[in-house]
Amino acid sequence: MPARKHPDTDISEAAGPADASTILAALPDLILELDAHAHICAHHAGSPEDVIANPPQTLQDQPLRDLLPRATAERIHTALTDALTLQQPITLECLVPHEHNLASIEARITPISAERALVILRDITATFRERNNLRQSEQRFRALVENLPGVVYRCRMDDDWSAIFVSERIEELVGRPAKDFLEHHTSLDQVTHPEDRAYVKREVASAVARHKAFDLHYRMIHTDGSTRHIWERGRAVYAGVDQITYLDGALFDVTDLHRLRQRVLTTSKMAAVGSLAAGVAHEINNPLAIVLANLEFVTEELVAIHQAYATDHVVTEAVDDVQQAIFKVQTGIDRVRSIIDDLRSFSDAAQSRAEHLDMARLTTWALRRAEPRVHPLARIHTHIEDVPQVWASEIGVVQIIWNLIDNAADAVSHLSPDQARIDVTLKLSDRPGFVLLEIRDNGRGMGEDILSRAFEPFFTTQGIGDGAGLGLFVCQGLVAGMDGDITVDSTPGKGTRVRVFLPTAPAQ
């Protein structure tokens, strides 16, 4: 049987007088018709006791001020005057005494003529209480989120991880305010390191497919260019069995923890390499001493033979050839001894412990000791600022400075002393959390082919016996062991700049 169709009819048109009375009786509201003086001209009281404490037998002709608390009556009277003046409805909320507590009522004032208005008073205590509970719940949630040491988010599972909600701490993490994500000016995917995006999507998709939480470690890019290491924990929220509505999760900045782990790992490696270097230096040095002692003996014997057979040209020529060969051997041994010295220095520095260092004081001391190594080839010009303490090895820092000064002195050795210049600058780096030590010279400089090999061990552009080729290699290892960074840029004919970034020390 087809459903019976009812014509669209306004209930006020359909209802007769009896129906209207039934409808009004079903309403819990107190309905008043007030004149401009807030006197009741007519009324319908569904449950007047919900709104008026101790209501009288009749409300007819009662002034509103006798029924409600003075402040509440005055507020409604003022709103009544405004509604009649503007001929527009006005709604307000008030508090009234009710059973030893306060009840919340809503007053809706609707003008029905120039001098009269219909006022509907409704008890909204339950609604107000629910709304207040919701507000308090939101405040507790916001306080919890704001005090978490991380970022809470809710996002869609789309290509960009479009944000539905993201907490304010996202700005600390990536340098962008939360509103940029909520207004879709950027996305969580866009601030993820490009090399890690595929990994993140793959791992999240895998966890979601298995209805499991995902646990990720990856990188994000801050607006200042720095890289932040992230630990993310999250889970998909499903509307049905497999219908994903969104992803909920939290992001934590673990950059300091990552650096600490890398520092421990690097320090362990450096200590192991340092021990190896010390052992190698010791093992090489012992037989080398025997070789040198025997070379001295052979040299003395050759001198005696040369003197004894001075008139025999065949013998003297043979002796001269042997002496030249011995000289070449001694040159090679000198190079080996130079390498041993570098290995010993590296061993001492690699095995020393990091500590709080006054970098300005230490740099000044190291440069003062390095002055004889440079003079009279060049003058050292210093620009040392007051910087925070660094977390580094004292022996290591001194070794780095001396190695770099030696390299700079060699680079300007072809210039006259009044032309040769070495500049040493110490200042707070633009990289957050680092101090910058910069050593610049105006020497020969290096082309790309040489610069690309600058950190290779035993690579040198100097002549045989003039350098072991370990200076920059040692510096790189020492800086890495201090959780720092070292860069070199150079221009042929103009000079070289070496920049060493060392981490500022943690608070004591």
Element (H, E) at 327: helix 313-350
Q: Tell me which residue of 363, 453, 348, 451 sits closest to 402, measured CA to CA.
A: 363
Output the pLDDT for position 23: 54
Query: What's the confidence (pLDDT) of residue 404?
Result: 92
Determine the pLDDT at residue 304: 84
Low-confidence stretches of the chain (pLDDT beneath 50): 1-12, 14, 463-467
Instruction: Write down which residue in 98, 129, 160 finishes a domain.
Output: 129
pLDDT for position 226: 87
SS (H, E, C) 400-467: HHHHHHHHHHHHCCCCCCCCCEEEEEEEECCCCCEEEEEEEECCCCCCHHHHCCCCCCCCCCCCCCCC
Cα distance between residue 485 and residue 476, in whole Å: 8
Q: Are 377 and 468 contained in the same domain?
A: yes
**Do 33 and 92 fall within a single domain?**
yes
Question: Does residue 365 sit in the same domain as residue 508?
Answer: yes
397: tokens are 């820092």
pLDDT at 4: 47
Q: From 350, 377, 404, give the residue that closes a domain.
A: 350
Token pair 């001194």 is found at 398
Element (H, E) at 473: helix 471-481
Do 498 and 401 reside in the same domain of the chain? yes
Task: Provide the pLDDT for residue 363.
Answer: 94
φ/ψ (deg, to 5) at 453: -110, 10
**Shared-domain flag, residues 240 and 333:** no
CA distance 326 to 346: 30
Q: What is the pLDDT of residue 483?
A: 83
Q: What is the pLDDT of residue 145?
A: 61
Q: Is residue 468 part of a domain?
A: yes
In a domain, 109, yes or no: yes
pLDDT given for residue 275 in this prediction = 66
Q: Which two tokens stand for residue 268?
A: 């362990």
Q: What are the tens digits of pLDDT across the range 330-357?
A: 777 777 776 676 666 665 555 567 789 9
Size of the chain, expressed as the number of residues it contains: 508
* Residues 265 and 340 reside in one and the same domain: yes
Q: Is 135 a domain residue?
A: no
Considering the domain architecture, whether residues 301 and 317 belong to the same structural domain is answered as: yes
373 and 247 in a common domain? no
Q: For the chain, how many structural domains are there in total?
A: 4
Q: Measure the CA–CA gap between 419 and 309, rounded to whole angstroms.
A: 52
Same domain? For 490 and 358 the reply is yes
36 and 101 inside one domain: yes
By DSSP bridging, strand 379-384 and strand 421-428 are parallel
The one-letter amino acid at 106: E
| Residue 138 lies inside a defined structural domain of this protein | no
CATH number of 181's domain: 3.30.450.20
Instruction: Decide if 499 is inside a domain.
Output: yes
Token output for 144: 């919890």
Packing angle, helices 255-308 and 313-350, rounded to 10: 160
Give which of 71, 76, 264, 254 is closest to 150, Cα–Cα.
254
Amino acid letter for position 126: A
Preceding omega of 56 cis (within 30 degrees of 0) = no
CATH number at residue 451: 3.30.565.10
Q: Nearest CA to 52 among 20, 43, 37?
A: 43
Same domain, 466 and 503: yes
pLDDT of residue 149: 75
Q: How far apart are CA 193 and CA 217, in angstroms?
A: 12
Residue 14 lies in a domain: no
What pLDDT shows up at residue 245?
A: 86
Q: At CA 376, angle to CA 370 and CA 381, rounded to 5?
A: 55
Give yes or no: residues 96 and 241 share one domain.
no
Where a domain ends, among 301, 332, 350? 350
- Domain presence at residue 17: no
Domain containing residue 499: 352-508
Buried-exposed string 301-318: b where 16+ CB fall within 10 A, e elsewhere: ebeebbeeeeeeeeeeee
Q: Is residue 9 part of a domain?
A: no
The number of beta carbons lying within 10 Å of the beta carbon of residue 490 is 20
